[in-house]
Amino acid sequence: MLQLHKLERYKDDQGNEIVYDGEIHETKIDIRFKGSNNKLVISPKADIKDLLVTFSGDNGRIEIEQTTKKRAGLRFELRCGHESRIKIGENVGCAGRAFISAVEGVSVTIGADVMFAKNIEVRGDDTHPIFDVHTEKRVNPSQSIVVGEHVWIAKHAVVMGGVTIGNGSVIGFRSIVTSNIPNNCIAVGAPARVVRRDIAWERPEVVPRRPNELYPRKGEKSPQYWNPTDDDAVSEKPVVRPQPKAQRRLVRYLPTSVRRLARKLRSS
């Protein structure tokens, strides 16, 4: 395993590459290459505060876009496996290090202007396989994730594989998202369920505001994200890793009478 502690342009004989032309960072940088032909592309204007990247296979790609607005900064632990992709859009902010995992050929896409609170996980995989004991078929394949633009994900929330979250939505505290969430709504719980539609949110904090102050102030509104909820708009189909056929013969699970008949037919 190759381990780097400096964010700067880099390329090695295994085809691993860092594409970055910004200011060199040497604090809280940990980039690990365990395979070949992996690429980390970071905008020179990305506000990197804390970055742990692990490429655990071959042909992985991670892209981090620019920060042009005042944000909390980018704090990520990113895990990218064989043939997998992670893309983080413009002006994303993280109050604490967010964990994102894409392995087994799937992708995780984070839209522009997403706001992560602390201790967030966005994971297209469960790390370990789970099987049906009768068929030996895997029941938890890795799946892609799409988090839309201007989504607020509150503290300790988890977004699981196969999920799309629409633009402008809010995921509540300690929620676990296991199914698609439409745009401009609030989803809470484990598993997360929509509890309110047709909402919009803005970044300015209420903590320093006076009682009964009117919202939003001039210039605080993001009109492109003030939209009615459309339950039919979430149509992204997640990428599911194809599963190999079970090697065990399923005939052993058929009723005894059926197996006897099958033997008679084969011998006749």
Residues acting as catalytic residues:
128
**Cα-Cα-Cα-Cα dihedral sign, residues 172, 106, 7, 99:** positive
What distance in Å separates the CA atoms of residue 259 and residue 148, rounded to the nearest whole number? 52
Euclidean distance between CA atoms 240 and 129, whole angstroms:
14
Cβ–Cβ under 8 Å, residues 137 and 131:
yes
Cα distance between residue 83 and residue 105, in whole Å: 5
And the tokens for 215?
A: 């919202």
Cite the DSSP H helix spans in the chain: 256-267
- Six token digits for residue 41: 């592309």
Radius of gyration of the chain (CA): 23
Residue 243 to residue 149: CA distance in whole angstroms: 31
- Side chain identity, residue 16: N
